[in-house]
Structures are given as C-alpha cells and as structure tokens.
Structure 1
Amino acid sequence: MEVRDLHHAYVRRAVLRGIDMDLRPGILVGIVGENGAGKSTLLRILSGELRPQRGTVCHTGRFGYCPQEVVINDALTVRQHLEFFKAAFNLADLRHAQEVMEALRLSEYADERAGLLSGGTRQKLNLTLALMHDPQVLLLDEPYQGFDWETYQRFWELAVRLRKAGRSVLVVAHLAYDAERLDEMWHLEGGVLHPGASVTA
C-alpha cells in the first residue's frame, strides 16, 4: 500500500495534514496517537470507507479491515456470519476462517448467537471476518480490545504468522504498549505521521 499526501478535515478542524506512508509486504506496523488524533479517520480512508479531501491511496491485492466498532449482527450465530461473509467474499470454503478461529479459540462458539457473546469474543469474530478471505493487507483498529491475556498473546502470534506469510499488517492503538512486537512504529500527532522506533528483527 502506498499513501501520498492525505488531507482530511471535519468542518474547520483538520485531522490529517499530509500523510505519507508505504506498507510493504511482510511487515508489521503500528500507528499510535491520542484519542481524537485521527487514527480511525486514517484507517477509514485507507480502507476506502471514507474519501480523503486530498491525496491518494494505492494498493494491490485483497485487504481486510477490522474497525474499532464491531460489525456483527446480534441475531445471527457465529457460523451464520461466516456463511454470509463467505458469499460476500465469493469464497469456495471456510478453511481459512476455521484456521483463524482455531488460533483465537473461537471455534467452540460457532453456534452461539452474537448477541450472547462477551465483548472479547465478539471482537474475535470481528477479527475473523476481517481475515477469513486471507487478505494481503490487513488494517486493524484497536483489534485486541476486550481480549483476555491469553487471547491477546494469541493475537500477536497470529500477527507474526501473517507477517511471515508476506502479509502487510497495520495495527492502530492509542498507546504504544506493543512497540517491541512491531517492525515499525509511527506516531500520529498534529495530523502528521512521525517515525518512532524501528525494531525489525
């Protein structure tokens, strides 16, 4: 993914003031910033959900987007969500979804209605839906909110597996808890990305 000169404002409040970024294959990148810094706006633009007022976003291949707000229907079971998204993504089977579910320990809830799931388990489903079509670029907005410690560890194990498979993974958070797990860390402040630590192994 190649991002050049992104600008966006809400009325007179500019939140993005010229964002440039390259997300190459096989990299795990983090963007941190305070609440209201524009992180979610940036991800919405990168995913194509929101049109920037200026600038370009170019990418090739499939991408997955896991927004901060869980995008599930409380009346449907986990399995029904998977079948719905299977049709939406035009997938031949659910093999990749099942692998992600096993990694996150979600499989045991396959026949539970989403409305009965805990917050952390709902987030596991949210993440599974973003990953089930095996995207080359993955955009994650606060992806581990509500996770217990074991699931949090499993999330990062999954992220490392994706990186090793040549996927590009962008994780957005408001605190830099996980800098040591990342190849690159960027800070979004004043509408501009500032480079942080580079910890490529």
Structure 2
Amino acid sequence: MKVEGVRYAYGDRAVLRGVDLVLPTGTLMGVVGENGSGKSTLLKILSGEMSPDQGVVRHGGRFGYCPQQMILNESLTVRQHIDFFAVAYGLSGTGRAEEAMEVLRFAEYSGELVGTLSGGTRQKLNLTLAVMHDPQVLLLDEPYQGFDWETYLRFWELAGRFRDAGRSVLVVSHLAHDIDRLDDVWQLRDGVLGRPGEGLR
C-alpha cells in the first residue's frame, strides 16, 4: 500500500494535513496517536470507506478491514456471520475463519447469538470476519479492545502469522506500549505522520 498526500477536513477542522505512508509486503506496521488525532479517519480512507479531500491511496490484492465500530447482527449466531461473509467473499470454505477462531479461543461460541456475547468475544468475531478471506493487506483499527491479556497475546500471534506469510498488516492504536511488537511504527500528530518521540517509549 502506498499513500501520498492524503488530506481530510471536517468542515473547517483539518484532521489529516498531508499523510504519506508506504506499507511494504511482509510488514507489521503500527500507527499510534492520541484519541481524536484522526487515526480512524485515516483508516477509513485507506479502506475506501471514505474518500480523501486530496491525495491518493494505492494498494494491490485483497484487503481486510477491522473497524473500531463493530457492525454485527445481534440476531445472528457466530456461525451464521461466518457463513454469510464466506458467501460475500466468494470463498469455497471457511478454513481461515476456523483457524482464527482457534487462535483466539472462541470456537465454542459458534452457535451463540451475537446479542448474548461479551464485548471481547464480539471483537474476536469482528477480527475473524476481517481476516477469513486471507487478505494481502490487513487494516486493523484498535483491534484488541475488550480483550483480556491472554487474548491480547493471541491477537499478536495471529497478526504475526499474517506478516510471516508475506501479508502487510497495519495496526492503528492509541496505546504506545505496543510498539515493541511492530516492525515499524509511526505517530499521527497534528495531521501528519512522523516518528514517535522519546516520550512514547
């Protein structure tokens, strides 16, 4: 993925002031920043959910997007969500979804209605739906919110598997303590990307 000169404003409030970024193949990259710094806006633009006011986003191959705001149907079971997305993605099987469910340890909830699940388990499903088609570019917005410590570690195991398989993974978070788990990290501040200051470490 290559991002050049991306700008976006909400009315008179400029959120992104010229973002440039290259996400190489086989890289686990992070973008950190304070709440309200424009991280989610940037990810929505990278995923194609929103269009920038200026600038260009280029990427090749399949991409997966795990938004911070979960879009799940509380009246459907976990399995029904996976089957529905398998059809939407045009998949012949759900092997990748099964693998993600095993890594994140929630396969036993397959028959449960989403409306009965905890926030952390919903987030596991949200993440599984984003990765089940084996994307070549994976965009993750605060992907481990609601996870306990064990699941948090398992998330990084899953992300590492994608990186090791030659995928490009971008994790957006306000938590700077994650940066030691990343191959590369940037900070979104004042609408542009730069290297984190010493205070983040």
Are the equivalent residues in 2 in contact too, given 1:97–1:132 (CA < 8 A)? yes
The one-letter code matched in structure 1 to 2:101 is: M
- Give the equivalent residue in structure 2 for 1:127: 127
Are the equivalent residues in 2 in contact too, given 1:75–1:115 (CA < 8 A)? yes
- Give the equivalent residue in structure 2 for 1:24: 24
Deviations 1:119-142 (A, max 9, x none): 000000000000000000000000
Cα distance in 2, alignment partners of residues 163 and 83 from structure 1? 26
Question: How high is the sequence identity, in percent, across the aligned residues?
Answer: 64
- Give the equivalent residue in structure 2 for 1:12: 12
- Give the equivalent residue in structure 1 for 2:95: 95
Cα distance in 1, alignment partners of residues 101 and 196 from structure 2? 32
- Give the equivalent residue in structure 2 for 1:174: 174
Cα distance in 1, alignment partners of residues 23 and 196 from structure 2? 15
Question: What is the count of residue pairs matched by the alignment?
Answer: 197
How far does residue 52 in structure 1 lie from its aligned partner after superposition? 0.3
The one-letter code matched in structure 1 to 2:62 is: R
1:43-54 matches, within 5 Å, as: 43-54=43-54
Find the residue that maps to 1:134 and give its secondary structure: coil
Are the equivalent residues in 2 in contact too, given 1:144–1:155 (CA < 8 A)? yes
Cα distance in 2, alignment partners of residues 133 and 195 from structure 1? 32
How far does residue 101 in structure 1 lie from its aligned partner after superposition? 0.7
1:50-61 matches, within 5 Å, as: 50-61=50-61
Cα distance in 1, alignment partners of residues 175 and 158 from structure 2? 20
Find the residue that maps to 1:19 and give its secondary structure: strand
- Give the equivalent residue in structure 2 for 1:82: 82
Cα distance in 2, alignment partners of residues 168 and 176 from structure 1? 20
Q: Which runs of 4+ in 1 moved over 2 A?
A: none
Cα distance in 2, alignment partners of residues 70 and 26 from structure 1? 26
Deviations 1:95-125 (A, max 9, x none): 1111111111121000000000000000000
Deviations 1:18-69 (A, max 9, x none): 0000001100111111111000000000000000000000000000000001
> Structure 2, unaligned stretches of length 5 or more?
none
Are the equivalent residues in 2 in contact too, given 1:184–1:196 (CA < 8 A)? no
The one-letter code matched in structure 2 to 1:177 is: H
> Structure 1, unaligned stretches of length 5 or more?
none
Are the equivalent residues in 2 in contact too, given 1:33–1:39 (CA < 8 A)? yes
Matched, 1:186 2:186: yes
Q: Output the TM-score relative to the length of structure 1.
A: 0.97
Cα distance in 2, alignment partners of residues 20 and 106 from structure 1? 37
Q: Output the TM-score relative to the length of structure 2.
A: 0.97
Cα distance in 1, alignment partners of residues 24 and 64 from structure 2? 15
